[in-house]
Amino acid sequence: MTTHPHLQTLSGMPNTLGRFEIKQVLGRGAQAGVWLAHDPRLQRDVALKVLHTPRHGHAPADAAHWLKEARNLSQLVHPHIVTLYEADVWDGRPGMALEVVTGPSLARRLAQTGALPALEAVRLMKQVLDALQHAHQQGVVHRDLKPSNILLDANGSAKVSDFGMASRLPRAAQPGEAAAHPGGVEGTPNYLSPEAARGLPPSPTNDVFAAGLVLAEMLLGRPLMAETDPYRAVYRLAHEDLVLPHDPQHPLDDALRALVQRALARDPALRWPSAGAMAEALRDWAAAQQGSPGDALDASGKATLDFLLRRMRRTSDFPAMSAQIVRVQSLASSENESLNSLTSEILKDVALTNKLLRIVNSAHFSHVGGGHINTVSRAVSLIGFAGIRNVAMSLVMLDHMENKAHAEQLKAEFARALLAGGLASDLGAGMRDTEEIFIGAMLHNLGRLLTEFYFPDEARQIRQALAAAAGAGAAGDATANHPVRRHQREEQAAQAVLGIGFEALAEGVGKSWGLPDSMLRLMRHSVAPPPSRPVTDAPARQQLIAQAANAMADVFLNAEEATLHTQLHQVASVYAAALGQTSTDIEAAVAQARDKLAITAESIGLYAPAHSRAARLLRRQLQVTAPTAADSRHPPPGQPVDSPISELHATTHHALNGAVDGTPATASEDSQADATSSLLATGIQDITNAMVDSFKLNDVLRMVLETMYRAMGFRQVVFCLRDGNSGAIQGRLGLGEDATNTARVFRVVLSEPNNLFAAVCNKGVDTLIHDATADKVRHALPGWYHQHVHARSFMLLPLHLKGAPLGLIYADQAQADAIVLDEKGLSLLKTLRNQAVMAFKHTMSNR
C-alpha cells in the first residue's frame, strides 16, 4: 500500500485481475505487490495488495498470513486506518482491495524534509495513537508500527497501514497461557519493543513503545535506533534503555521530552498505560503550546524559560535528577504493578533506599509506625504509595543538590522547603491527599531553589535586590512585611534578573517532570490576601495551606532572632482566620514541624554549621521521640516463624545433593556476611511485624522479595505461584533488572521430565546453581529460560503446603559463582521462605 510520487509503469503486469482493471504499480515487497486498480462495479480506484505468485502456485503459509491480515483489518473502521474494502482470491491470487492513499509515507516525508516541527509531529502522532487505541479496543495489536507503515493523505492526515504482523489478543495474554505463544522475534528490528525483542506475547504496550520511537524520529529527523545489524538492534532493545538525545539542531522542551521518554520505558509498566492515554497527554501538551487558558507565559517568557532550561540541562546533574523524578512521578496510582515498579525504582539506588528508610522511621511518620520499618515494601503498605513516592522525589532532589561550592545557601533553602512541606502536612491533617500537600508545599518555591543551585550569581543579585527593596519599604510602608507583598517583590526581582519569575520557572520545570495539575496548583502563589473566614473548598484550602506554610518557613529562615517570634505571630495572624485556627495554634504547629524537621535532618545526614541560617531551622527545641525499633510484641530478628523445610544445597544437576562450600572466609568476606545477615534479619523482623498486624498477602510477598534482593544483591528475584487451573508454577511478582518480564515468562510444568525447576518444586529441595552453562544443568533447563533469562547462577527456594508444591522463589546473578552464602545466611533465607508459606496459611485459614 505504500504510495510513491513517481508511479512505476505496468511493465508486463496483467491488464486485469478478476474484475479489477490494473493501472499502475504502487510498490513491491518481498511477499506482495501493490497495484493501483479501478473497480468498474463500484466505480472507484483501489489499491490492490496481491501476493506474488510462486512457480507452483501460492504458498499455503503465505496465504494463511494474508488471510490473518485481512481478518484483522476487517475489524477496524477508523478515519486514521487504511480501509479494507474486500479480500478474495482473484485468478488464483490472494489479495485485498484497499483504500487508495494519494500522499507519501511518513518515511518518505522525513527523508525529504528531515525533522518535523514539534506541533506537526505531535498532531500526526495523536492521529496514529487514536488509530492504535481503536485497534487495541478491537483486540488487535499492530506489532510493526514504523514510518513506512504510516501513510499521509492529500490533507496531510495520517493513515496507519500494513497489519500483516498484527496479532489478536483474546487469550494470548491470559495468565498461565504464555507458553502457548509460538515465541520468536517478529517485526522490524529497529522498531521492536523490548518485550517483543525477547519474543514475549504481544501486548498493546508494544505499539506504545513503537509510537514513542516514531515520534522521536519525527522530532529528530532520524531514527532513534538505526542499527544495520538486526541482531544487535534486537539485543540493544532488549537490554538497553533508550534516551532521547539533546540535539541543538532540534531542541525540545522538557515536557514533550518527558512524554516521549515515558513511551520509551524498557519496563512496560512504566510506559503510558494505553495508546489513548499517550494521545491525551500529547493533546494537553499541544493545547499548552498553542496558548490555552492557564498558559501564563507570552512568547518572550517561553523563550526565556527554554533558555534557562537549556542552561540547566548542560549540567551533569539536572538531566539525571529530572530523569529519576520523571520515572518516579510517572508511576501510576496504586495497582500492584505500580507498587512493584516504585519499589524497584527506589531499590536501584542504595543511598536513596537507606535515606528513605531512615526518614520513614523518623518522628514525621510516627503515626503510622515509624521506628521499626525495615523494607521499602512495608513503608509503602503503611504510609501509602503517594507518600513514599513524594518522599522519594524530595530525596532525589536533595541528593542531586548537595556538595556544591554554594552548599550552605542550598542547605538553607532545602531545609526551608522541608519545613514548609512538614508544616503543610500537619496543617492539612484530616484532609485527603496530605502527601500531595507535603510535596506541593515543598516545591512551592522550587523556582528559588533551582536558581540558588543552577544560577548562583543571579540568585545573589536577586537577594541583594530584595534586601534593598525591603529596607526602602520598611521605612514608609506598614504592609511591607506582609507575605503577599514579599512574594510580589521577590517575583519582580526574579523577573528583572532572570527574565521570568520564580513561579514561572518552577511551573515550567514541574511540567517537564510530569507533575500533575493538582500539584502544580499547590506550587502557585495567590496574589489575593487570605479571606477573613475559613476556606472550605478543598483545592483552595490546600493551596492556602501550602502558601501559609511557606510564608512561616520564610520567616524562620530570614528573620533576625530578636524579631523572629513577632514576625511569626504576624504571619500566623494573616492566615489564621482563613485556616479556621488561632495564630497560637499555627505557631505551635510551626514549632512542632521544626522539631520533626530536626529529627528528619539527622536521619538523612543533613547538617549545617552552628551559626548558619540553616542551623536555625535544624535546631531542635521540643523533644520529639521516634518509636524505637524494639517491640516486645514481636519475636527477635531471625527467629523462624515455622519449622525449617529442607537444607539449601549447592548443585549442578537435578540430583540435588552436595554441600555448602566450606572454604574459610576472609575478614572482608566476614564483614560482608555480617552485613547480609543484618539486612536479612531486619527484613524478617519487618515481615513478622506485618504478620502480627492485619496484612495483605501481596505486601508480605513483596517484603520477602525485597529483603532477599537488598541483602544478597541479586540481579532479580521472582515469586512464582501454582496456577489453580493449569497446575503449573507461574511467575507473579518480581524485583530487579527485567524481573517483570522474567515473571511473565516463568512457567514450570510440574509433570515435565528432565526439568530442573520441576524436580526442585516436586521434591521441595532448596537449590543453588553455581553455573547454569554446565552441560548437566544446561540440558535440564527449559527453553524459555535459555531464551529469556540467561542467568549463569541462580537459587531456587520451593514452597510446599500440605506436602504439595505451592510456589517457588527464584533469585539470580548474571555471572557464574556469584551467589555466596554462609550457614547463618542459609538459615535466614529459609526463615524468609517459611514466612511466605505462613502468610499463605494465614490467608487460606481466614477465607
Question: Between β-strands 793-801 and 804-813, what pairing exists: parallel, antiparallel or unpaired?
Answer: antiparallel
Q: Which of 130, 144, 162, 554 is catalytic?
A: 144
Specify whether the CB–CB gap between 753 and 737 falls below 8 A: no
Report the alpha-carbon distance of residue 436 to residue 521 in Å, rounded: 11
Q: Which amino acid is residue 215, in one-letter code?
A: L
Report the alpha-carbon distance of residue 618 to residue 735 in Å, rounded: 36
Report the alpha-carbon distance of residue 11 to residue 20 in Å, rounded: 17
CA proximity to 488, closest of 526, 520, 448, 450? 526
The torsion of the CA quartet 362, 364, 370, 371, rounded to 10 degrees, works out to 20
Output the DSSP codes for 419-482.
Answer: HHHHHHHHHTTTSTTHHHHHHHHHTTTHHHHHHHHH-HHHHHHHHHHHHHHHHHHHHH-TTTT-
Q: Helices 456-476 and 483-498 sit at what angle, rounded to 10 degrees?
A: 140
Which of helix, strand or coil describes residue 89?
A: strand
Cα angle 631-637-643, degrees, rounded to a multiple of 5: 120
Question: Between β-strands 649-651 and 767-769, what pairing exists: parallel, antiparallel or unpaired?
Answer: parallel
Q: Which residue has the cell 514466612?
A: 835
Backbone phi, psi, residue 778, to 5°: -55, -40
Q: What cell was used for 65? A: 498470513
CA proximity to 163, closest of 148, 147, 145? 145
Q: Could you tell me the sign of the dihedral formed by the alpha carbons of 114, 118, 122, 123, in that order?
A: negative
CA proximity to 270, closest of 219, 224, 337? 337
Which positions ≥6 away from 449 have C-beta within 8 Å? 397, 401, 410, 413, 414, 417
Q: Which amino acid is residue 156, in one-letter code?
A: G
Q: Which residue has the cell 488464483?
A: 92
CA proximity to 601, closest of 318, 374, 839, 358? 358
Q: How many CA atoms lie less than 13 Å away from 703 in the CB half-sphere?
A: 33
H helical segments located in 101-159: 106-113, 118-137
Q: How crowded is residue 753: how many other Cβ atoms within 10 Å of its Cβ?
A: 8
DSSP 8: B
Q: Reduced to 3 DSSP states, what percent helix, strand and coil does the chain have, rounded to the nearest 5?
A: 50, 10, 35
Q: Which amino acid is residue 351, in one-letter code?
A: A
Cα angle 158-51-39, degrees, rounded to a multiple of 5: 65
* Residue 517 bears catalytic tag: no
Report the alpha-carbon distance of residue 147 to residue 38 in Å, rounded: 27
Q: Can you count the helices (H) and strands (E) in the chain?
A: 32, 17
DSSP 366: G
CA proximity to 151, closest of 99, 216, 197, 74? 99
Q: Which residue has the cell 517478529?
A: 186
Report the length, in residues, of the chain. 847
Report the alpha-carbon distance of residue 827 to residue 599 in Å, rounded: 36
Report the alpha-carbon distance of residue 55 to residue 59 in Å, rounded: 10
Report the alpha-carbon distance of residue 588 to residue 593 in Å, rounded: 9
CA proximity to 252, closest of 291, 216, 226, 281? 216
CA proximity to 207, closest of 271, 124, 120? 271
Instruction: Supply the residues annotated as catalytic.
Output: 144
